[in-house]
Every structure is written in structure tokens, then in C-alpha cells.
Chains A and B, each alone.
Chain A
């Protein structure tokens, strides 16, 4: 499995792909699956399932709170794989976003095998770089999985080349120097990072960290191949603890707005190309 066909289809349609994130097990395993399916139905092209972890150094308060709630609810790694299976069954490519230790504990080879047999497309690894000597690259290749590593505004050109050459599926460009969390304005560090990354790879480039509105999605879609949204979606569910149906309705609305955003941004990109 791979996310490649989803990015290819978006490119054919002259737009960016919308990548939506929610942690598994939040607010419950079944509730998490339902919420992720809402993202699929409302227009996400790729789904990221977060694996809740006790020490999430790249996450801001919103994702931390959701992951903690999932862990308090007893979510297990096997539940994450079950969630992937249920979401991937919709036909939308589904990747797992995880810190490294849970994978190492599960067994790198076993995790790759079980993720592949659940229909998962690959892994996003926020605290793992390709040169860390983890064995993930080899295991992913054996099981035909995408390896999505992060690049950052602080990455040197040399590291951009090294990192992107180890990626498969897409490259995750972090728009800001910072952790996950919705931000009011888009980052001026993202466009130059995407430009530098394009010089060393033909892979699609997704931009994440801080995107929360359709307008921001449109802005990013004008220069990136994918728009990644996490905290804003999580926030919707956190804000409706006592009325899950209302949360789900609002989640669908926001996703629709973001999906329109990546299409508007694509049109803008067309204008830029013609100009």
C-alpha cells in the first residue's frame, strides 16, 4: 500500500491533497474510528492515525490532551492497528503517525508486518530520522510501506537530500520551528522550505503544523502538494466532550471547509502557473 495514488489523483485534479490526523482511541476506540471515517467522507485524501504515546515531545497541548485521554482510556497498540484496518477498509490510504519507542517495543519487523496486513500505507515518524539506525527503513521496504520522514526549516540542504532520499509516499515539511498546534497565521518559513525540498526530490511535499482553516489550507495548497491538519480537528472533538454527535457534525463541517480550501488553493496555483 502507498499514499502515492491519492497524491497522484489530487495532482491530476490540479489541487493539493488533504491529509487529516486524529489519534486512535480518542475519545474511545470506536469513537475514534467513527471520527476518522467522518474525515474520509468529508473529503480527506489521506488519513493519519496517531498512536498515543506517554512522552510526545513534538506535540502541543491539544494533541497531548487527546493522546492522554486515549491512554487513560486504556488504548493499546493493537487498538491502533485495529483502527487502521477499519479506516483503510474505506479505500482511503491510511498511515500511522508514531513516536519510535512503541514501534521498537512491539518489534520493528512485527509492526511493519501487522501494519501492512491491516492495510496501512506506512508510517510518519516525528522523532526518527533516517540516519538514526533504527531498522525501520529496511522493515518498511520489506513490507512495501511508505516511510514519511520530516524536514524542518532548520534542515541543512545536505540533510534535506539525505532525508528525502529515504522517504517514500510523501515528504512531511514542518511549517514552523515548533510543536503541533493550531496557529492564527500561516508560517513564512514554509514556502522557502518547500522550495528547497523540491530541489532535491520529486516526491509530493505535504505541509503541516498550525493549519486550522480553509483559508490557510488554500494558501498552502498554492505551493505544496499536501495540506496536513491535526490539532484543529482534535480541538473540535475536545470542545464537544458532552455532545459527541455535535462534535462529529462540526468535524465534518471543518473538513469540508478544508477540502474546499485545498481546491481553491489549487486553482490559485493554476493562476500562478499561467501568470
Chain B
């Protein structure tokens, strides 16, 4: 429990709640009860922890990135969620929700996905638990992320391309909800981020909060104190809330979320929902939304498919409104620079999503170092690895994949 939790109807201050068709309310109520009972059941919690440990490689390490830090000006600790099975923090959420699905006796799961990361994680969890799995994905994204479509197919999931609307993540969510209205008696919706109607924002946070709980203890052990600041990228907000929750009641720890600034917030081509959106209702919750004067959702833009979403989890909206956390935009260019820097200084290729948090931390480090000196510490959530982003990196950096003229294959000097 923190002072920033939702009330029993899912309201985080003025945000959250449940704006959903009546047909789904009974299922959401049933899910709320099942989740609360499960979290209070030591056997469920133990099984969840065992699955994450034995199968997903959790707890992830906390790594002191000293060479990267030389470019920052203060100490930078990385929470290595990129080392988890399937390469991101997302495995925590899906294993939790899939375990709950088994407990509820449902046999089929559905999921939405943008880049395919949550879809791959869902297909993985479905294979692990023996559940039938259908993943909805915008047809624009199935073309952009063909490799992840193949991964999902190999894992035994059915991938359904969605052509409606803008044919991207928000439309995949709409289509998954349409499936769910018709299949709710035997199907669970594995929602991919800490957004949507109650109980999803709170439930997804419960399944991802291990990130921050582990990192807080690891930081105390490594440095003998809490970090001065924590930083994470924010799409829907699952990795960020997973990190932030452990620190919400530590007033001496500053909390920073980094949204996708795309081409720059002033260009209108971005996904900086909290920074540049307005309060509204999208996908079942009141939150900040990118919308026009009539309340029609505006398409978001980001080089990072995982941050390319015109809404955001309601707890982040509340943390922003209450001032407990601060949210900032990071442009495509800043994120790609940080991606290259981490690759070259530490030998870690981060996901482009996570690179937004790294870029934010570089900016924040200048301020913190000036204020507190080089011993100041920022703990950054490295939410995922960059293998999935190599196509984008090839285009962005103009890498042609050909070997350099000197030094052949196997030359590691």
C-alpha cells in the first residue's frame, strides 16, 4: 500500500475508474475479486515468485554503469529488465495475469500488441501454461514487426491483423475488447500495460512492482542508501509504475517519467500524453489523452512502437497531477543518441523505449550533479533489450550491415 493507491472503485484521485460497456462489468468485477483474493493468498504469491525466478530469470540485476556514467556526470544504476526471459519487464505482467487466468479456470487468453513485445510475452505465457492465445495487432504494425509476428506464430498463438481506425495499437485494443465482449465467459484479456478500466491499472502494477521492490533493496545493499532519483520510460506505464511504486513513500527520492517526444512536442508528432494531452476517457479510464477539440483520439507518433500510444495509465496521471512524479518528453533523436551511447560504453543495446529513460537520465544527471555533486545516484529502469529494434537502428544510423573494410569476421579487437 502507498498513499497513491486507487480507492475500491479504481479511482486514483480524479483519474481511472471504469468506463466500459455493461456487458463487461460482471467480468471486470469477477476479475477484481479474483485478483484481490490471489494477492492475499500466500500460495498464489509464492507460485508467482517461483515462476518468475525459475522461468523468467527474476530478480534482474542492478548494474553500476560506470562508463556510461562518465558521460552523465553522476552515478547511474541500471535495473536490468532486459535480461529477463523474452527480453523485457513485460514477462512479469503476463506471467501474473496468466497464472490468475488458470486460477479462474479460463482456457483462452487474448492480448493486444503494438510492437509485438506484449504479444510475444503473452504467447510465451500461454505456451507455458497451456492456454489458447489470440493476439490482436494493427495491420500497420504486423508489417513493421514481421519478426515478432513470426515469433508469436512459432509460440502457437494466432495473430489477427486489425485494419480499423489507424490500424495501430489503440485499434488493436479496441478489437481485443470487441472479442472479449463476445467471449468473456471463457476468455481472459491479458492487458499489456498499467492502463484500461479498473482493476487493470492496479493489477498490472501489482505484477510489475517487483522491479522497484527488488531495485530498492539492491540499491541499499550496493550503495548503502536510496537513490536520489529514479527514472523510467512511460508508454502505458507498466515498467514505470513497476519501478516507482517502491519509492512513492520515500519523499527524498525524486521520480521521473519520460514520454516519447517523437519529432518534438511542438511539432504535434509525438506520444507525450501527460506532457501535452488533456484529461479524457480512453479505453475504459479517465486519464490524459491525445485528442482533438471534439474528443476524437489523435494518432501518436514515436520511433519506439512500445511508447506509441495516445493514452497513459491513470496512476501516472494522478502522480503527475499530485506532483509526486514529474514527466518529461524525450525526442526520437535524443533516445537514439542514448541508445548508441549505452551500446558503445557498456556493451548493452537497450530497447528504444528504455533509451528514452536513459536520455532523460543524462539530462537529469546534469542537474543533480550540479546540485548534489558526482555522488548523486539515478536508478534507471532498463526495461528491455534492443534486439527487436535493429531494423529501426539500421535505418536511423544508416548501418548497412556490411562488414567494415578492415578487420574480418571473428576479428574482435
Q: Is the interface of B mostly helix, strand, loop or mixed?
A: mixed
Any A CB within 8 A of the CB of B27: yes
Q: In angstroms, how far is the closest chain B Cβ from the Cβ of A59?
A: 8
The answer to whether A55 and B297 touch (CB under 8 A), given A132-B18, A150-B22, A179-B181, is yes
- In the complex, chain B residues whose CB is within 8 Å of the CB of A76: 294
Convert A117-136 into 0s and 1s, putting 1 for each residue whose CB lies closer than 8 angstroms to a CB of B. 00000000011110011100
Instruction: State whether A159 touches B25 (Cβ < 8 A).
Output: yes
A163–B22 CB distance below 8 A: yes
Residues on B with C-beta less than 8 A from A255 are: none
Q: Does A274 sit within 8 A of B, measured CB to CB? A: no
User: What range describes how many residues of A lie at the interface?
Assistant: 35 or more
CB <8 Å contact, A102 and B296: yes
Once bound together, how far apart are the Cα atoms of A134 and B11, in whole Å? 12
The closest CB in chain A to the CB of B171 belongs to A55
For residue A180, which residue of chain B has the nearest CB? B178
1/0 contact trace for B354-372 toward A, CB 8 Å? 0000000000000000000
> Min CB distance, A78 to chain B, in Å?
9
A71 adjacent to B296 (CB under 8 Å): yes
Select from chain B the residue with minimum beta-carbon distance to A103. Answer: B295
Does B184 contact A149, Cβ atoms closer than 8 Å? no
Q: Answer whether residue B390 sits at the interface, using C-beta atoms and an 8 A cutoff.
A: no
Query: Is B293 on the interface with A (CB-CB < 8 A)?
Result: yes
Q: Are B22 and A129 in contact (CB under 8 A)?
A: yes
A54→B281 contact, CB < 8 A: no
B182: chain A residues within 8 A (beta carbon): 176-179
Contacts A55-B170, A68-B165, A179-B182 given: A174-B23 contact, CB under 8 Å? yes
* Given contact pairs A101-B289, A155-B22, A159-B25, A106 touches B294 in the complex (Cβ within 8 A): yes
**Does B174 sit within 8 A of A, measured CB to CB?**
yes
**Cross-chain contact B19 with A54 (CB below 8 angstroms):** no
Q: Which residues of B contact A83 (CB under 8 A)?
A: none
Tell me the complex Cα distance, A178–B177, Å.
10
Please give the number of chain B residues whose Cβ is less than 8 angstroms from any Cβ of chain A in the complex. 38
**CB closest residue in chain B, given A79:** B294
Is B26 a contact partner of A155 (Cβ separation < 8 A)? yes
Which residues of A in the span 88-135 have a Cβ within 8 Å of any Cβ on B?
Answer: 100-106, 126-129, 132-134
Q: Is the CB of B280 within 8 A of A152?
A: no
**In the complex, what residues of A have CB within 8 A of residue B281's CB?**
100-101, 104, 127
Which listed residue, A56, A58, A101, A103, touches B181 by the CB 8 Å rule?
Answer: A58
The answer on a CB contact under 8 Å between A127 and B297 is: no
Nearest-Cβ distance from residue B70 to partner chain A, whole angstroms:
46
The chain B residue with its CB closest to the CB of A105 is B295
CA distance A38 to B19 in the complex (A): 34
The reply to whether A132 and B22 form a contact with Cβ atoms under 8 Å apart is: no
Interface string of A57-68 (1 = CB under 8 A from B): 110110010001
Q: Mark A144-159, 1 if CB is under 8 A from B, else 0.
A: 0000011111111001
Provide the residues of chain B in CB contact with A186, threshold 8 Å: none
Inter-subunit contact B22/A178 (CB<8 Å): no
Judge whether B160 is part of the interface by a CB distance below 8 angstroms: no
Contacts of B297 in A (CB 8 A): 54-55, 101
- A101 near B177 with CB under 8 A, answer no
Complex contact B282–A55 (CB within 8 A): yes
Report the minimal beta-carbon distance from A196 to chain B, rounded to whole angstroms: 13
Contacts of A155 in B (CB 8 A): 22-23, 25-26
Contact with B along A22-63 (1 / 0, CB 8 A): 000000000000000000000000000000011111101100
CB < 8 Å: which of B17, B185, B283 contacts A55?
A: B283
Contact: A105 with B164, CB < 8 Å? no
Q: How far is the CB of A115 from chain B (nearest CB, A)?
A: 15
Residue of B nearest to A76 (CB): B294
Are B294 and A64 in contact, with the CB atoms below 8 A?
Answer: no
**CB atoms of A127 and B20 under 8 A apart:** yes
State in angstroms the CA–CA spacing of A154 and B177 once bound together: 15
Chain A 157-178 residues near chain B, CB threshold 8 A: 159, 163, 174, 176-178
Candidate in A54, A58, A100 with the most chain B CB atoms within 10 angstroms: A54
Check: A77 CB closer than 8 A to any chain B CB.
Answer: yes
Q: Which of A58, A60, A101, A132 contacts B295 (CB 8 A)?
A: A101
B150-165 CB contact bits vs A (8 Å, 1 = yes)? 0000000000000011
Known: A57-B177, A152-B23, A154-B23. 10 other contacts (CB 8 A): A53-B296, A55-B282, A56-B174, A58-B178, A105-B280, A105-B293, A154-B27, A177-B23, A177-B181, A177-B182
- A residues near B, CB below 8 A? 53-58, 60-61, 64, 68, 71, 76-77, 100-106, 126-129, 132-134, 149-156, 159, 163, 174, 176-179
Which B residues are closer than 8 A to A by beta carbons?
A: 9, 11, 17-27, 164-165, 170-171, 174, 177-178, 181-182, 184-185, 278, 280-284, 286, 289, 291, 293-297
Q: Could you name 9 residue pairs across A and B whose Cβ atoms are closer than 8 Å?
A: A54-B165, A57-B178, A57-B181, A77-B295, A101-B282, A105-B295, A127-B20, A128-B19, A134-B19
Ranked nearest first, the 4 interchain pairs of A and B with the lowest CB-CB distance are A105-B295, A152-B23, A102-B295, A178-B182
